[in-house]
Amino acid sequence: MSIRGTSAIVGAAQLDTFKTDGKSPVGLMAVAVNRALADAGLTLADVDGLFTASSYYAFPTLTLAEYLGIHPRHMDSTALGGCSFIAQLGHAAAAIQAGLCDVAVVAYGSTQRTDAGKLVSMAESSPYEQPYGLIHPIGAFGMVAQRHMAQYGTTSEQLAQYAVSAREWALLTDTAPYPTPLTVDEVLNSGVITSPLHKLDCCLVTDGGAAVVLVSAERARDLRDNPVYLLGSGEAVNHRNVSQMPDLTATEAARSSQRALQMAGVTLDQLDTVHVYDAFTISLLVLLEDLGFCAKGEGGAFVENGNLAPGGSLALNTNGAGLAQVHPGMLGMFLIIEAVQQLRGDAGRRQVPDARLSLVHGMGLTLAAHATAVLSTHPEA
């Protein structure tokens, strides 16, 4: 038994992806849920499965259900950090297939920008790390970058190239928060925050709410003519605290994506668009290597010469993603939404022609958790 192609995304919405106008995190979730349901031609009364994760709420599905005034029969608050929602696509598909729910909503909301850039987290801090003054997560990614540079000769200029390419993609949207091109020099001159990472090696700090609605593949075809099917789903765990990360330059993302691709029956070369968590230039680089888009250690060369910019060899993070478009604490939902827009052909100037197959890969915390989804315009690859 497999969940391959058994469910589909029929509704998707995002809002206030740079700054909200006074909504709370759960308020952003609630508006996103309503808009995603409207997009699907459904209403709150149809929702019987609720999936969410949050840095604000310890019991986020309860908080959201109470706020919406609904009483779903299936709840999932899987907490894997920023990739939680990508994992929850698979959980939702399994729940739908098992008959635990019929209409599943996956939602997220955050006011991280309004909160003045303070990373909101109720996560417990490790007594082995916190007393030494580690800034989570960027301090850990400084260590990752330092190690990758020492081991593979990766340079700050190469890392900066990804930030430049992401900005180019963002410029093809109508929502780019910084609508001017970026240069490698600007990244290198933006000030070191934690060596060797500069300010512009880091993702934006934004607000944002987003939600998607999943139903069975049969029901999806009744609701709309362009459902986005979940063809494959995979997860993997790497560590919890960065001091226990076995190899700072390699992760279990490889296994997560293999699980998803294998389920989907898809290979990397078949993908039309790819959406990979880019909290930092270096995290993107490590993940691209682990996912197999280039060999381990060759990520630096892979991002050079605009290879990841519009017109490059890989249509990656086609709205500029975390570095140049949106990053409200957790990015996972927004990677999914961008893939859905591409697969619906709704991506405007950045549309990848005839996009049929997309891979979404998220990490959680400091490359600690991994979740991958393969999405498709067809229930078969």
Partner 1 sequence: MNAPTRPPITPRGEEKVFFDHLREHELVFQRCAGCSHAVFPLRTVCPHCSSESLDLERAAGTGTVYSFTTQHRASHPFFAADAPYTLVLVDLDGGVRVFANLVDCPPDDARIGMSVEAVFDDVEPELTLLRFRPASAAESTAEEQS
CA proximity to 260, closest of 364, 335, 372: 372
With contacts defined by CB under 8 A, name the span among 64-72, 73-81, 132-140, 231-239 that binds partner 1. Answer: 132-140
Q: Of the two residues 240 and 344, which places its CB atom closer to partner 1 in the complex?
A: 240
Please select the residue that binds partner 1; options are 143, 231, 266, 315, rule is CB under 8 A. Answer: 143
Contact 148, 154 (CB under 8 A): yes
Interaction between residue 130 and partner 1 (CB under 8 A)? yes
According to the 3-state scheme, what is the secondary structure of 132-190?
HCCCCCHHHHHHHHHHHHHHHCCCHHHHHHHHHHHHHHHCCCCCCCCCCCCCHHHHHCC
Structure tokens belonging to residue 316: 């990656």
Within residues 110-129, the interface with partner 1 by CB under 8 A covers 125, 127-129
* Cα separations in angstroms, 377 against 225, 319, 344, 358, 359: 10, 19, 8, 9, 12
Interaction between residue 52 and partner 1 (CB under 8 A)? no
Q: Minimum CB separation from partner 1 for residue 39, in Å?
A: 41
Please select the residue that binds partner 1; options are 142, 208, 299, 328, rule is CB under 8 A. Answer: 142
Burial of 128: CB neighbours in 10 Å, binned 0-12, 13-18, 19+ = exposed
Please select the residue that binds partner 1; options are 26, 42, 134, 212, rule is CB under 8 A. Answer: 134
DSSP letter assigned to residue 70: -
* Cα separations in angstroms, 257 against 86, 125, 359: 12, 29, 9
Q: Minimum CB separation from partner 1 for residue 90, in Å?
A: 26
Q: Of the two residues 142 and 362, which places its CB atom closer to partner 1 in the complex?
A: 142
Q: Minimum CB separation from partner 1 for residue 122, in Å?
A: 14
Q: Minimum CB separation from partner 1 for residue 83, in Å?
A: 23
Q: Of the two residues 183 and 244, which places its CB atom closer to partner 1 in the complex?
A: 244
Please select the residue that binds partner 1; options are 58, 98, 123, 150, rule is CB under 8 A. Answer: 150
Q: Minimum CB separation from partner 1 for residue 136, in Å?
A: 8
Please select the residue that binds partner 1; options are 69, 132, 180, 349, rule is CB under 8 A. Answer: 132
Order of strands, sheet of 369-376, starting from the edge strand that comes earlier in the sequence: 74-76, 49-52, 104-111, 207-216, 7-15, 228-237, 369-376, 357-364, 273-276
Would you give the binding string for partner 1 spanning residues 188-217, x where CB under 8 A is met?
A: ---xxxxxxx--------------------
Does a cis peptide bond (omega within 30 degrees of 0) precede residue 196? yes
- Bridge-based pairing of strands 192-194 and 197-198 is antiparallel
In the chain, which ranges are continuous DSSP H helix? 25-40, 60-68, 84-97, 138-152, 156-170, 184-188, 217-223, 253-264, 281-291, 299-302, 321-324, 332-344
Interaction between residue 69 and partner 1 (CB under 8 A)? no
Token pair 């987003």 in the structure block, residue: 210
Interaction between residue 133 and partner 1 (CB under 8 A)? yes
Q: Minimum CB separation from partner 1 for residue 138, in Å?
A: 8
Q: Of the two residues 34 and 241, which places its CB atom closer to partner 1 in the complex?
A: 241
Sequence-distant (6+) residues with CB within 8 A of 244 are: none
Interaction between residue 131 and partner 1 (CB under 8 A)? yes
Q: Of the two residues 9 and 242, which places its CB atom closer to partner 1 in the complex?
A: 242
Would you give the binding string for partner 1 spanning residues 229-248, x where CB under 8 A is met?
A: -------------xxx---x
Within residues 86-115, the interface with partner 1 by CB under 8 A covers none
Sequence-distant (6+) residues with CB within 8 A of 368 are: 81, 237, 238, 239, 240, 241, 242, 245
Q: CA-to-CA distance for 194 and 4, rounded, in angstroms?
A: 42
Q: Of the two residues 142 and 320, which places its CB atom closer to partner 1 in the complex?
A: 142
Q: Minimum CB separation from partner 1 for residue 190, in Å?
A: 12
Instruction: Number of residues interacting with partner 1: please give it, by CB under 8 A.
Output: 30
Please select the residue that binds partner 1; options are 146, 155, 190, 270, rule is CB under 8 A. Answer: 146
Q: What residue ranges bind partner 1 (CB under 8 A)? A: 125, 127-136, 139, 142-147, 150, 191-197, 242-244, 248
